[in-house]
Amino acid sequence: MNATSPSPSIDPVLSLAKVQEVVGYSASHIYRMVAAGTFPDRVRLGPARVGWRSSAIAEWIDSRPLASTVLVSDMQGRSA
């Protein structure tokens, strides 16, 4: 009987198309945010292929403020 060792945890890499689908931004907007340091950087998979670690995208989404929080703070700054 062979002892089984735990499988290493694999963090899937998402294509640009999948990242666009998940976050709802265009490719150019994603690349602008990467350049500005406000979005996770890419992982180079080959000479002409990049992707994003799914965990990095999930962490970025989790770091975003809830819409209700943003709306309340926006409304507090406005005068009637």
Containing H/E element for 52?
A: strand 49-53
pLDDT digits (tens, 9 = 90+) for 55-64: 999 999 999 9
For residue range 16-50, list pLDDT tens digits in order.
999 999 999 999 999 999 999 999 999 999 999 99
Q: How many CB atoms lie within 10 A of CB 19?
A: 22
Is the pTM here over 0.75, yes or no?
no
Residues 29 and 44: their CA atoms lie apart, in Å, by 19
